[in-house]
Structure 1
Amino acid sequence: MDIAIEYEHGKYIEFDGDEITYFLGVNHEIKWKLYRGLKRFSTGKNLSDFEENVYGDDGIVIKCDDKKMKAKDLPIYFLDCRESFLEQYRYSKGSMVQKYIDSMEDDFQVNRQIESINDDFLKLEVGLQNRFSQVLTHVSPIIKPLTYKEMIKYFLELSYYENDIPYPVEMMDISMLVDDYCRLLKAELIRAQKKTWFCISNPSAFISKSIFPQFIESLKKIGKETGLLHIFIMSDDYFVFPFKGQDIPNTVILYDSYQQLPDYGNLVESLARYYPNEVEFNESDLTRSLYRIIPYIGWKTNTNEVYLKPKDMILLKVTSQLLNCFSPIKCTELEDELSELERKFLLS
């Protein structure tokens, strides 16, 4: 699917994506504007006069295969901190828990149980009326039947149990939320039957590196099973993740410009043309090295010193040349593992 997202008036990020897209690189400003714009778009509200100065009077434009999308047709969920996990577990407007609970209003078994409660209410009403009749001649009590919405409004509380003791949901560890979160998301996708975007910003800031890969695999599985989910991951820094060669064409690098990477085979051919000597790439090693150096493509500081392994430094310089992004980079240490040609290449 060809996707175009407007992050400022007339400025777009355009890329091809269906399952997952990674937005990485040194241009944190564009990533922030992209994330900010998606959040604003998801509200579905008209722009204020001030916001029109940023996005134009035609609103925030998102296109999928040249079709201009509307917020009501493209639900977007966001994760950028621990609180953004928890808000989906509160019975509040728009949360996944709220939608899931509301969806049970027409459930046959639930309605049978409510009818049973109302039958007991009716018995209680008769008993109260008999008591009233012993004292009052003209006034008699009536108990209104219970509805599902009233039950949720007045009696619902959400909690979790630890050692058989109930605690507020807000006290839960994120590691305890992930599996249920995925089940809630899948239930909502099946209910709504709408193409849905799921945006994660700087995951290393709020979710552990041991849990995150499992979480993404679960989201991917949901996407494959439903055909309705596209995952976006934005990160300002390198984050530990088991990237594979198949992730490379799903990666958009943001620097002075931006570039979506080609598939693994084409990337290897391009890198080999720029490499200082003949080289045979191992897919696993190259992929790990590539994602280690991406946060430094186009990176500029006062010293321009980058502390990476020498082989990573070679790849950084080659990739920068390939992207026509010639950043002044100083290599702080040249170890013996480099060939003479590689050493000269780094020092040139």
Structure 2
Amino acid sequence: MNYLGSKTKLLGFIDTVVTECQFKINKPADEIVFCDLFSGSGKVANHFKDRFKVVANDLEYYSYATLCNLLNNDSSTAYECKPILDYMNYCMDGEQGFIYQNYSEDGGRTYFTNDNAKKIDAGISLVYRLYNEKELTEQQFYYCLCSVLEGADKVSNTTGLYTAYLKEFKGSSIKPIVFKGFQLKDSVADNDVYLGDANDLVKAVSGDILYLDPPYNQRQYSGDYHLLNTIAQNDKPEIAGITGKRVGRVGSPWSSKKKVEDEFRTLVESANFEFLVMSYSNESLMPSELVGDIMSANGKYSVHEMEHKRFSSKKGQKNAEGGETVTEYLHVLHKAG
């Protein structure tokens, strides 16, 4: 999935810093609880599932579904679901459902070709019907649901975000949708997945390493990926505007200049974890110095940094200084007491 702020290319950097924290914890690795509080695409949580027990959370349902698949499934689920994906790819007819009616060429919004929109509708309808009829387990449900999500994202006629669609279909969007399986790593423990507000959850969970990757700027993920939520939830919401966004979307205070400092300060003070590791770039709402001051007030603080290519939905988009890279900081707090 093309994802704003994805840490796929930074996993080595993150792993190095997390490993330093791990060596200071007096526990075997498989007894360490690693919590990914703003998990997004699940890349970081999935990276550590074969080393630690993982607790993962996000506010968006498409992310929650992705996390349930990545963290609570393995190769056995992939084997069990292969016949269903084969049927979806080779035998399933399309349906003129909600996606076709609102997000296809015939629907007046060219997010998908007519044929792909019909297949998305049919895929979601099938997965939910099989689950409601108890022909799919919860694990199988999320595996098949995420196959539809991933397939839809691959053929979406966008620049990576769902804030707008392209007027002309690009090459990848006119290819027939394919519902693929996943290569899933084995877990060392039973993992927990939550759907909710980060600051509420951090008061209810505890562990050893808390990884934070909050929104960096004032973009709202509920708007950027609204269509993935609609596909995943199969709920036919009220929509509005040229781009057909869901009505009543809830924004994150972490994307508010006025609220983010208080949210961060409260989270750091509330967190019942030995280590906090926070990804935050030099283009973020809070300056690095402020992050350091808040963490330093709660224990031993250090920071690591790395230059990397910035995410952009537009080719060649520059940063504030005219370059194409940003500085990624990993702020580390070893909490006192």
Is the structural similarity TM-score above 0.5?
no
- Return the TM-score normalized by structure 1: 0.26
Pick the structure with greater CA Rg.
Answer: 1
